[in-house]
Amino acid sequence: MRGPHNIWRLIRTGATFERTGAMSVALEAMEAPPRLRLVARIIGWPFKWLGYKGDPALPPVTRAITALGPAYIKFGQVLSTRPDVVGEDLANQLRVLQDKLPPFDTALAKAAIAEELGRPVTEIFADFSEPVAAASIAQVHSAVLADTGETVAVKVLRPGIERAFRRDLDAFHFAAGMIERLLPGTRRLKPTEVVSHFEQTVLGELDLRLEAAAASQFAANTAQDAHFRVPAPVWALSGRTVMVMDWAEGTAMGDVPALRAAGHDLVALSERVLQLFLSHALRDGYFHADMHQGNLKVAANGDVIAYDFGIMGQIDEYTRRVYAEILMGFIRRDYRRVAEVHFEAGYVPADRDVNAFALALRAVGEPIFGMNATQISMAKLLAYLFEVTERFGMQTRTELILLQRTMVVVEGVSRSLNPAMNMWEVARPVVETYIRENLGPRAALRDLKRTALVLGHFGPRMPALLQELIERRVNGPAPTPEPERRRTGWLALGGIAAFALGLIAAQVL
C-alpha cells in the first residue's frame, strides 16, 4: 500500500545513513557541495536514533545499504562499478554487495530445493557445498550431479525476498509520487515511471525460470562470439525458486591482482568487455543488463564468462539505430549531428535550439577527448550532463534506462581493468560495423524486403481491395462518413503502393 506509512520507511532510510556514518562518507565521495552536506546533517541528526544499526564490522555506506534491504543493495551494486564517480575506496567497499553478502543457512537452501524439485537434495546431487557466493536476491552453491558427475552451480532465492522487495518498492513509489507533487520541475525525469520500470525489472528476477530462459536465449545469440561464454541451464532441475546451470570456472573479474598474476592482458580484457556489450546491444538488441564484476569471470584461456541473467535488456531496431548514431557522433566529435539525432528521435523538444544543444554536448564530449581518462572527474561530468538535460527539457526515456545504466556499469568495469581506457576509441569498430550494416543503402533495401514479406501476407486480398476502390470511384461510395471514406481510400492506395515497392525491392535483392 503506497500510503503515508511509507514516510516512516523513508525517515528510517535517512536515519540509517546518519546513524551508520554513511551520510557524510557518501556525500564526500560524491563531491557534494559543503552546503548540501550541512543541510543533510541538520535534517538527519534529529532522527539518527531511528536508523538501523547494521553490521558494525562493515564500512559505513555498505553497512547502511545492507541494513536497508535488497532494493538499496541493487543501487549500491551500480555505484560499486564507478570508482570514477564515488572514489576508489568507496567503490571497493561496495563490491561486497555484488556477491559477498551474508548467506542464509544451507539447510534452508536444501529445503527450498527439495520443495521446488520434489526430490531430496541427496538424491539429485552427489555433493552439495556451502554457499560460494551470496547477493541481494539469491545465493549460489557448487554441486555435483548424482547421475552424471558433472559440476554445476545451484542458485536458490533468499527466503522472503519477494516480500522484502515489495516493501522497499512500495516506499520508492511513495517517494517518487511525493517528489513529483512537491517539485514539479522533476516531472520531466518521470520518477514514478522510473520506479515502475525498476519494479518490473527486479520482480522478473524473482522467477528463476525466466532467468533460465534468458540464459538460453543469450547463449543462442552469442554462440559465435569469440572469447565469450554463457553457462547453459539444466532445465530439468530448474524452477521458480531454484536454477541449476553449468559451472563457470574462472577468476572473478573484480579480482584485478589475481587476473594480473594469472597473466591475463588487462587492457585487452577491458576492451573486450565493452565491445561485447555494445555488440550485444546493437547487433541483437538483447544484452546482459547487470554486467558488474560479480557477474563476470575470466577463464584460463582469457574468455569472458557471463552469468546471472536475472536482468536482461531489450531494445527495438529503431532505438538501436538512434543509439548507434549518437555514439558515432561522439566518436567523430560531430556534436551537431548528435544534437540533430536527439531532435529527430524526439528526445529533445522541437522548440529548443539545436545549435545551443550541440554546443552543450561539445562541453560534455570534449573533456573526454582532451584529457587522459584518469584525469576526468566523472562525478562533475555527470552533474553537468544533468544540467544540460534540465536546460533543454529532456525527459527520461524509460525504454532506455537499462541501456544507459548498463553502459555506465560496463564502462566502470572496463576502467577498473584499465583506468586509462578511452571508451570512444574502443567503441569505434563495433559502432562503425553496425552503422555500415544497418544505416547504408544495403540496409534500406533489406528494410524494403522485410516490408515486401509482410505485405505479401496480404497479397490474396489486394485484388479485392483494388476492385472495391475502383467501384467506389466509379459508382459512388456507400453512405460512409466522409472522414472514414477518405481514410479507407488512402489506406487502400497506400497498401497497393507499398506492396508494389516491396515487390520491386524483392526482385532487386
What is the share, in percent, of the chain residues with pLDDT greater than 90?
29
State pLDDT tens for residues 333-358.
Answer: 898 998 998 888 888 888 899 999 89
Confidence of residue 489 (pLDDT cuts 50, 70, 90): very low
Instruction: State the CB neighbour count (10 A cutoff) for residue 413.
Output: 23
Cβ neighbours of residue 77 under 8 Å, at least 6 residues apart? 94, 97, 98, 136, 290, 292, 294
State the cell numbers at 209.
Answer: 525460470
State pLDDT tens for residues 255-278.
Answer: 999 999 999 999 999 999 999 999
Element (H or E) spanning 492, and its range? helix 482-508
**Is there a catalytic annotation at residue 308?**
no
Across the chain, mean pLDDT equals: 79
Contact predicate 309/215, CB 8 Å: yes
**More confident position, 379 or 494:** 379
Contact predicate 98/292, CB 8 Å: yes
Positions of E strands within 136-273: 138-145, 151-157, 228-229, 242-246, 251-252
Q: Strand 304-306 and strand 296-298: pairing?
A: antiparallel
Q: Say whether pLDDT at 384 is over 70.
A: no
Domain ranges, ordered by start, for the chain: 5-99, 162-203, 251-439, 441-508
Per residue, the 3-state secondary structure of 140-167, as one string, reads: EEEEEECCCCCEEEEEEECCCHHHHHHH
State pLDDT tens for residues 136-164.
Answer: 889 999 999 999 999 999 999 998 888 88
Confidence of residue 108 (pLDDT cuts 50, 70, 90): very high
Instruction: State the CB neighbour count (10 A cutoff) for residue 188.
Output: 15
What is the share, in percent, of the chain residues with pLDDT greater than 70?
76
Q: Strand 228-229 and strand 304-306: pairing?
A: parallel
**More confident position, 61 or 235:** 235
**Of the listed 99, 246, 290, 308, which one is catalytic?**
290
**More confident position, 353 or 378:** 353
pTM beyond cutoff 0.85: no
Q: Say whether pLDDT at 486 is over 60.
A: no
The mean per-residue pLDDT over the stretch 60-69 comes to 85
The mean per-residue pLDDT over the stretch 40-58 comes to 77
Query: What pLDDT does 2 receive?
Result: 57
The mean per-residue pLDDT over the stretch 301-310 comes to 92
Contact predicate 357/339, CB 8 Å: yes
The mean per-residue pLDDT over the stretch 15-30 comes to 78
Query: What pLDDT does 84 receive?
Result: 57
